[in-house]
Each structure stands twice: as structure tokens, then as C-alpha cells.
Structure 1
Amino acid sequence: MNNPIQTIDGSNTLYSTKYNQHFHDLKTGAIKESLNKHVIPALTLKKDLKKLKILDICFGIGYNTFSTIYYILENNLNINLEIYSPELDEELVRSLDKFDFPKEFEKIKHIIDSIAKTFSYEDANIKIEVFIGDARKYIRTLNNIDIVYQDAFSSDVNKELWSVEYFQDIFKLCKNGAVMTTYSISTNVRLSMYEAGFYIYEINPSGNRKQTIALKNKKDIEAKYIDMELKKSRNKEAKAFYD
């Protein structure tokens, strides 16, 4: 495992030598990024549900999964949680029991240790499954997902997890009303989601960085609706990604 790199909020991240990108934005912070870009927007939209099935693409260091559990526990939310997450790097997951996570995760250290050892965790309220292998194959085994954290490395280096065909498989496994969160605001990425059937929205949770929310069903939410047909007519050069 590479040496931890401290982000601006004090939490640590890593640098991927395979994709030549950091796992998190250093100027946002690892835990802050997970909470603001994924957990809080998604759980706010699903606040009426008492049971959530989440697909976390990809597991990486586990911040999105662990931040979800932290947020639920910290806010005393009565939610039964299932999280499913693919990850290619087995060695990385096995090393997480030794990773220097922020103090916010101290209460869930037993969960982190279990995932590092068995790639899974389960108690009365939480079930986590980390699948070591190809995300494209794994997602075809899932169904009835409420929330998708679309947090793969960027489309510049990992296009197979941003294509229309990929998002079509995501669309199929989602329940009606499902929400997908992502840091990407790329028109090409949004077109890929749109061509797969999703409705595209934009939010600005941190006040300085926009991000994308995609819904399986069109709905009035506290977000800016993006008319992708209008985008296509105004930007003839923008194209969705295909396999």
C-alpha cells in the first residue's frame, strides 16, 4: 500500500499508480467528499426509507461505505442498511485494517477489520459485501438498489465504468425512484447516463463545486434539472461514451 496522503480536512487518502489519480480530492478532503458528494445528498432524497440497498462503485479505501455508516449512527437514523461494492484491488482491501482512518470511524473499527479480513460484515442492522473482481460482471448479479454511489476513477482513465452500456446495467438494477450520485459534471458522462435512461440534475452542496445527481424517475427535487436534449442541440460535439 502506498503511503497515506493527508487531505485538507485532515483525513487521509491514497494515490493510485494504476490510474495516476488520487482516490479523493485533496482540496475537499476524503471524508468531507464522501459525505457531501454522496452520503448526504443520497440519504436526504431517501430520508423516508427505513431500509436502503446501496451500490458503492468502487470500494477503494471504503470511505463512501464507512461514511454512510458513520452518518447513520451519528444522526441516530433508524435505517437497515445493505451495501454492495465491487473492487479490483484485493491487496488494498486487505490492508484497510492498518490504514490511518479519521477519528470519525473509530466506533466502526470492528467493521473495517471484518471487511479487511473477510470482505464482508453483518449484524442486525448492517450488511456489507465487497466483491473482489470485475465491477461490470458483478453489477449484473444485483437488483432492487435504492442508491448508487458512482465514484469510479474518472472517465479519462476508466471509461468502462462511465459508458452507456454500463449505465444501462445500472439502470436495470435500480428500483423505481433510485438515485445515483457522482462527482462528475462532464457533459459526456451526463449524456451516457441520459442515454441509459436516467434524468439528470445538478447540485452544489459545498457552495463551490457542482456535481451530478441522476434519478431513475423524473421528480421535483431541490436541484437544477438539466435538459439533456437541449444540451445535445447546443453542443453537437458532445457525445456519450460507448464500449
Structure 2
Amino acid sequence: MKKFIKTIDGSNTLFSTKYNQHFHDLKTGAIQEALTKHIIPSFEYHKNKKNLKILDICFGIGYNTLSTLYYLQKNNLDIKLEIYSPEFDLELINSLKEFVYPEEFKGLESIIKELLENKRYETETLKIELFIGDAREYIKTLKEIDIVYQDAFSSEVNSELWSVEYFKDIFEATKDDCIVTTYSIATNVRLSLYEAGFEIYEINPKGNRKQTFALKQKKESKAKYIDMELKKQRNKEAKAIYDKL
């Protein structure tokens, strides 16, 4: 088990030697990053839905999935939830049996244990599926997704999960009113989303860093709409990310 790294909100994270990046922003905090960058924007967008299907890219240490459950409990939300999350690193998943999760996840221990042992947890109101393998292939098996937590390592080191082809598969796996959340504001990432069919928006939650969310259809929103055609005209050097041949 690798050494735990404490983030500013007191939650632990890890460092990936494969990608040479921390799993979370140390100055934001692992839980706060999950909540502000993914969960709160998504649930506010779908505030009138009582059934939600979430694609969590990728499971990693599990903070996005577990923080979603914490958010539901904290806010007493009566929502039937399905979460699908791919993860290629089985060694990482097995090591999480020794990982020290924060106090906020007290009460989720039985879910964590069963998920790590069986890669699945299911009740009448909650289903979590952890898939060990290629996220690109897994996405092609999914349909009718409401929310996508796009939380892969950065496009500089993990480009296969930020390419136009990848986002086209996301487009096919999601509902017309889906939302894709991501921490990235990079122009090439936004172009990849746009060229896959998504409309691009920018938010700055509670004074934190700017971040991106994407919708399949342009809608009135308090968020800032990003005109990607104008961006392309003004920055002709900017290019979307495509799969390497």
C-alpha cells in the first residue's frame, strides 16, 4: 500500500507513479473536489429527477462514488441511484481494503467492503457496479446514463480518456439531458467534447477554480456558455484530441 497523502480537507489521497499525478488536488481536498467539481453541479442540474444513472470515470480511490452516497445521506435525498465505474488497476482496488477513508464515510463501511470484495453492491434503491478493465470498451455496453463524472488523469498523460472518439462513445451512452462534469478547462479537451457533439459551459463554484460541464443540447443556464466555433476562429492552432493511430 502506498503512503497516504493528506489533503487540505483532512481526507487522504494517493500519488500515481504511472501518471506522475496525485489522485486529487491537495489544495482543494479529496471530498471537496468530488463535491464541487462533480456531485453538486450534477445533482443541481437534475434536481427534479428521482432516478439517476451515473458513469464515474474512473473509480480510482472511490471518492466520487462514495461522496455521492455521502451527499445523498447528508441532504436526505430520496433518489434511486445506479453508479457504473470502470477501473483498470485491480492492484489499486485490492489495496483499498487498507485505505483510511475520512469520517464523512462512516456508515458506508459495509458498502465499501462488499464493493471491494465483489465489485458490486445492490439494494432496491442503490446499485454500484465496479468494472475492472478497459473503460473504453465498458462504456460501449452502457445506455441511458444521466450523469458522467469525467475525472480521469489529465489529458497530457491519459489522452485515451479525453479524445473525440472517446467522447463520441460517451455521447452514445447518455440520455439527451445528460450532464458531463470535469475539472478540465483546457481548450483541447473542450474541443474534443464539442467535436463529439456536446455544448460547452463554464462554472466557477463558490469561488473555486473554473471548471467545465457539457450538455448534449444548448440550454439557458446560469453557467457561462462557451462558443466553441468562435474559439476555433480566434485560436486556429487549437486542436481537439484524437486517438493515436
**TM norm. shorter chain > 0.5:** yes
Asked if the contact 1:95/1:116 (under 8 Å) is kept, the reply is no
Instruction: Provide the C-alpha distance between the structure 2 equivalents of 1:169 and 1:228, rounded to a whole number of angstroms.
Output: 20
Q: What is residue 179 of structure 2 aligned with on the other side?
A: 179
Instruction: Provide the C-alpha distance between the structure 2 equivalents of 1:175 and 1:14, rounded to a whole number of angstroms.
Output: 33
Q: What is residue 2 of structure 1 aligned with on the other side?
A: 2
Instruction: Provide the C-alpha distance between the structure 2 equivalents of 1:63 and 1:81, rounded to a whole number of angstroms.
Output: 16
Q: What TM-score comes out, normalization by structure 1 length? A: 0.99
Q: CA deviation at 1:206?
A: 3.3
SS of the residue aligned with 1:141? coil
Q: Does 1:207 align with 2:211?
A: no
Q: What TM-score comes out, normalization by structure 2 length? A: 0.98
Q: CA deviation at 1:94?
A: 2.0
SS of the residue aligned with 1:92? helix
Q: CA deviation at 1:107?
A: 1.1
Q: CA deviation at 1:93?
A: 1.3
Instruction: Provide the C-alpha distance between the structure 2 equivalents of 1:226 and 1:165, rounded to a whole number of angstroms.
Output: 21
Q: Structure 2 matches for 1:130-169, cutoff 5 A?
A: 130-169=130-169
Q: Structure 2 matches for 1:48-197, cutoff 5 A?
A: 48-197=48-197
Q: CA deviation at 1:95?
A: 2.3
Which range moved further: 119-128 or 93-102?
Answer: 93-102
Asked if the contact 1:8/1:28 (under 8 Å) is kept, the reply is yes
Q: CA deviation at 1:147?
A: 0.1
Q: CA deviation at 1:186?
A: 0.2
Instruction: Provide the C-alpha distance between the structure 2 equivalents of 1:150 and 1:168, rounded to a whole number of angstroms.
Output: 13
Q: CA deviation at 1:92?
A: 1.3
Instruction: Provide the C-alpha distance between the structure 2 equivalents of 1:222 and 1:14, rounded to a whole number of angstroms.
Output: 35
Q: CA deviation at 1:119?
A: 0.8
Asked if the contact 1:96/1:113 (under 8 Å) is kept, the reply is no
Which deviations, in whole Å up to 9, do the C-alpha atoms of 1:128-179 show, x marking residues without a partner?
Answer: 0010000000000000000000000000000000000000000001101100
Instruction: Provide the C-alpha distance between the structure 2 equivalents of 1:161 and 1:217, rounded to a whole number of angstroms.
Output: 22
Asked if the contact 1:164/1:242 (under 8 Å) is kept, the reply is yes
Q: What is residue 27 of structure 1 aligned with on the other side?
A: 27
Give the ranges of 4+ consecutive aligned residues of structure 1 lying more than 6 Å apart after TM superposition: none
Matching residue's letter, 2:158: N
Asked if the contact 1:178/1:217 (under 8 Å) is kept, the reply is no
Asked if the contact 1:13/1:23 (under 8 Å) is kept, the reply is yes
Which deviations, in whole Å up to 9, do the C-alpha atoms of 1:95-129 show, x marking residues without a partner?
Answer: 22321111000111111111110111111211000
Q: What is residue 44 of structure 2 aligned with on the other side?
A: 44
Instruction: Provide the C-alpha distance between the structure 1 equivalents of 2:133 and 2:208, rounded to a whole number of angstroms.
Output: 35
RMSD: 0.7
Instruction: Provide the C-alpha distance between the structure 1 equivalents of 2:34 and 2:14, rounded to a whole number of angstroms.
Output: 14
Instruction: Provide the C-alpha distance between the structure 2 equivalents of 1:43 and 1:97, rounded to a whole number of angstroms.
Output: 29
Matching residue's letter, 1:20: N
Asked if the contact 1:111/1:121 (under 8 Å) is kept, the reply is yes
SS of the residue aligned with 2:176? strand
Identity of aligned residues (%): 68
Q: Aligned pairs, how many?
A: 243
SS of the residue aligned with 1:206? helix
Matching residue's letter, 1:229: E
Instruction: Provide the C-alpha distance between the structure 2 equivalents of 1:6 and 1:114, rounded to a whole number of angstroms.
Output: 25
